[in-house]
Amino acid sequence: MKYTVLGTGAVGGYYGARLQKSGLDVDFLARSDYSVIKERGLRIDSCQGDFVLDRVNVYSSAEELPPTDVILVSLKTTANDKLAELLRPVVKKGTVILILQNGLGMEEEVSDLFPEAVVLGGMCFICSQKKGDGYIVHLDKGSISAAPLREEDRDLLMKIQDDFQKAGVEMTLLDDLKTARWNKLLWNIPYNGLSVVLDADTAQIMKSPHGYNLAKTLMEEVIRGGEACGCSFPEGSVDTMLEYTRIMTPYEPSMKLDFDRGRRMELEYMYRRPLKAAAERGVSLPHIAMLADQLAFREEKN
């Protein structure tokens, strides 16, 4: 299958480069670093081995993108107001759209916009950062958990899983997309937000008993919210996630990098929507709500 990457950053650039390195046909949409990638290609410094793609099919406009089979959406959700405009030139009947974003509710929105497409969700467990134009550093992890929005599309997802596995990316298929999204929020809600309000990376949060307790409390609220929405979590999920983070390479989550660079943070999909979903079922999540308000305040003052 042919792939197109919307958002050649820390996530899309890394996975797209892996797919191209394995021999697949991949197109990339890039904006600010289009000219650099066009001239020099993509450089990936990875804990699994560094490599450079000297020649990359990169485009600066969605209208110029060739036909494709699978679109990887790896833009920040802060750009989702432009997503329909970017997808419209390349989505045809049967086009697969794999959403590689953080938060809740993106797949349903895209499906409403493009009912003729096949919409899948992917939860990326990766520590990677864009360090410069056409330059991505992969620090740790890298697996993807994925599920279809509609169960009848699982066979297509299995074909994509095979492509990713051949590219050296572990992809696990899950039964239920909503549950998978809430399970990813178990990490995203505490560590993205705390990294900003505490001005700390993951290692600093975990080494402090106060940071550790804050992360644990937020995780427990994520589980309460997810269960109210009909989702389940493996037994011991909080302890497993805390240990997962404790042993990972020290990492500044994407939200902290966005804040430090004066960019908008992904508050809507990562915080407001989960809070709303739980509230609609009569469950309040006060610690998550407070963290969301603290982040909104810091964004206003930034």
Query: Quick one: fold of 3-175?
Result: Rossmann fold (3.40.50)
Q: What would the pLDDT profile of 157-172 be if each residue is shown by its tens digit?
A: 999 999 999 999 999 9
How many other CB atoms are found less than 10 A from the CB of residue 220?
Answer: 16
Q: What angle do CA 34, 132, 261 make, to 5 degrees?
A: 105
Span 255-265, mean pLDDT? 97
Looking at residue 283, its pLDDT comes to 98
Q: If you average pLDDT over every residue of the chain, what do you get? A: 98
Distant-in-sequence, close-in-space partners of 181: CB < 8 Å, separation ≥ 6: 103, 104, 121, 123
Q: What percent of the chain has pLDDT over 90?
A: 100
Residue type, 170: E
- 232 pLDDT tier (thresholds 50, 70, 90): very high
CATH 3.40.190.170: does it fit domain 178-301?
no
Q: What would the pLDDT profile of 126-184 be if each residue is shown by its tens digit?
A: 999 999 999 999 999 999 999 999 999 999 999 999 999 999 999 999 999 999 999 99
Q: Is the pTM of this model over 0.75?
A: yes
The Cα 97–Cα 3 span in angstroms is: 10
Closest to 259 in 3D by CA, of 298, 206, 218, 202: 298
Just list the catalytic residues.
Answer: 184
Looking at residue 274, its pLDDT comes to 98
Domain limits, the chain: 3-175, 178-301
178-301 matches 3-175 in CATH topology: no
